[in-house]
A and B are shown apart, each in its own frame.
Chain A
Amino acid sequence: MRTWIEKQKHLIDFTLASLMRRKAKNLGLLFIYTLLVFVLASAALYTHALRQEAQKALAGSPEIVLQRLIAGRHDLIPPGYIEKIGRIRGVQKIEGRLWGYYYDSVVKANYTFMAPRDMQIERGEIIVGPALERSRGLAAGNGISFRAYTGELFTFIVADVLPQSSELVSADLVLMNEEDFRAFFKIPPGYYNDIALSVANPQEVRNVAIKLLTALPDSRPILRDEVLRTYASIFDWREGIMLTLLAAAILAFGIFAWEKAAGLSAEEKREIGILKAIGWETGDVIKMKFWEGLLISLTAFLVGYLAAYLHVFYFSASLFEPVLKGWAVLYPRFTLPPHIDGLQVATLFFFTVVPYTAAVLTPIWRAATTDPDTVMRA
């Protein structure tokens, strides 16, 4: 065993010396390889953690949200709907929601205005999300004016700012009293934007939704399950920009591996020929190249993954911020709790270490089994 270990160490010594003879090329290769792993691992870690966090946060969202559609477009829920819903068996709690969007031309940002039922807010006061605190410099006690779509100016006093720890769900919220909301958006009493329903038996949610469609054919029920699946699939690696990123990275790896597998350079062939001429066995040459592939790919994987971990969970994936922020002015600041998918990490390992190591070995076999004189003269 000790002999075997010592032999491997000698092979590693020689491999490292060989790599250092082409220092610039091999360091460049290692750097690019590590960068590829870093980008892929960062994207995988970020999207998985965000998906898990969204699932946890939205687990308490309403079982059914009922919207009304007129000619396929959203419309207000009129008076009488809530009473019709109340006759459906299985519906435990019904609450009309008042919420909408407001475009603030001062900072060119969209806010979500809301009149919550389960929160006491005085008339003339608002509770704002943490992103508004940053963008408009608001704090408790400050005043702020919004111009309604009718042209009328409404002034509010900020009663409180929602906690920064809830920023993932509250960053752009402006919470106000129901009467203020109706006056601001000119929504008559008895009308709501949609209805939130809770169903006693979770197994009955779909049946209740079907009954709602029957009772109210112009409605559109949205189930909590669909909300959760929306955010489970949003950063799915099979769709959208994630697929583009993955495809580009796989193509880059493919080019790496093809470049290695396509053949050896004249210098590498001469090196193998010399080794065979001085007595190296074919197996030793292959083991040396195996160590070369493994050292480079394993180092790239470990360093790339660790850098990605620090980037996502200690630096809040700041390199992705321009992509995720897009044209938005308001962007929530949150640090994700790490949720690591072992299968993703294993897949990343398999697709980074194994193909490159195999690609390094592929051209070696032919050179290692050919007559040294022929190899050196080629």
Chain B
Amino acid sequence: MRVVFVRPANFALLLLAAALAAFLLSFADAARLRLARATASAAAAALVTQLKLTDPVLFTEARYTRHLSQADLQSAFQDHPVAFEHFPSGSLVIPPAGVIAPYENLDRKAKAPD
């Protein structure tokens, strides 16, 4: 059996070139997968419009993690004073300041009724 000697540099550069080609191909594959999965995305969007949904189903263990955009600002530790925080969802879904701020602005802009 003949043993073919491959120069180490050529082997390394070939592997790197293959990896680079795969890296670039991943972008083309991403475009292909986006097209292939577009139907599922459209189905979800259509259901949101039909049922007037406001939140995706990501964290179902508590009310304030299930509907992040609808939860009131006091929902955490909701069931009783020493209820555990729902880790790690609670860490992932801390209300960002940017969401609370517009609510405060709207509140202050509205005139108090007579």
A and B: bona fide binding partners = yes
Which residues from chain A sit less than 8 Å from chain B, CB to CB? Answer: 8-10, 12-13, 16-17, 53-54, 56-62, 65, 67, 69, 72-74, 95, 97, 101, 109-110, 112, 114, 116, 118-119, 129, 131, 162-163, 165-173, 175, 194, 196, 206, 209-210, 213-214, 217, 220-223, 225-227, 229-231, 233-236, 239-241, 295, 298-299, 302-303, 305-306, 309, 313, 323-324, 326-332, 334-340
Distance in angstroms between the alpha carbons of A328 and B53 in the assembled complex:
20
Size range of the interface on B? Answer: 35 or more
> By the criterion CB–CB under 8 Å, are B48 and A196 in contact?
no
A226 and B91 contact, Cβ closer than 8 Å, known pairs A163-B43, A324-B58: no
In the complex, which residue of chain A has the Cβ closest to the Cβ of B34?
A337
Task: Collect the chain B residues with CB atoms within 8 Å of residue A227's CB.
Answer: 54-55, 69
A305 and B61 contact, Cβ closer than 8 Å, known pairs A9-B7, A114-B51, A337-B37: no
A214 and B111 contact, Cβ closer than 8 Å, known pairs A57-B44, A114-B51, A328-B89: yes
Q: Answer whether residue B103 sits at the interface, using C-beta atoms and an 8 A cutoff.
A: yes
Query: Which one of B44, B60, B111 contacts A329 once the chains associate, using CB atoms below 8 Å?
Result: B60
> By the criterion CB–CB under 8 Å, are A165 and B54 in contact?
no
Q: Answer whether residue B99 sits at the interface, using C-beta atoms and an 8 A cutoff.
A: yes
Cβ contacts A to B, 9 pairs, < 8 Å: A13-B8, A101-B63, A169-B48, A226-B99, A226-B102, A233-B98, A326-B86, A327-B87, A330-B57
> By the criterion CB–CB under 8 Å, are B57 and A169 in contact?
yes
> By the criterion CB–CB under 8 Å, are B87 and A61 in contact?
no
A172 and B20 contact, Cβ closer than 8 Å, known pairs A16-B8, A163-B43, A217-B112: no
Task: Collect the chain B residues with CB atoms within 8 Å of residue A334's CB.
Answer: 40
> By the criterion CB–CB under 8 Å, are A295 and B16 in contact?
yes
Distance in angstroms between the alpha carbons of A206 and B105 in the assembled complex:
11
> By the criterion CB–CB under 8 Å, are B106 and A206 in contact?
yes
CB distance from A150 to the nearest CB of B (A): 19
In the complex, which residue of chain B has the Cβ closest to the Cβ of A209?
B106
A60 and B49 contact, Cβ closer than 8 Å, known pairs A206-B106, A213-B106: yes
Q: Which of B64-96 touch A at CB < 8 Å?
A: 66-70, 72-74, 86-89, 91-96
Ranked nearest first, the 4 interchain pairs of A and B with the lowest CB-CB distance are: A60-B49, A213-B110, A338-B30, A165-B40
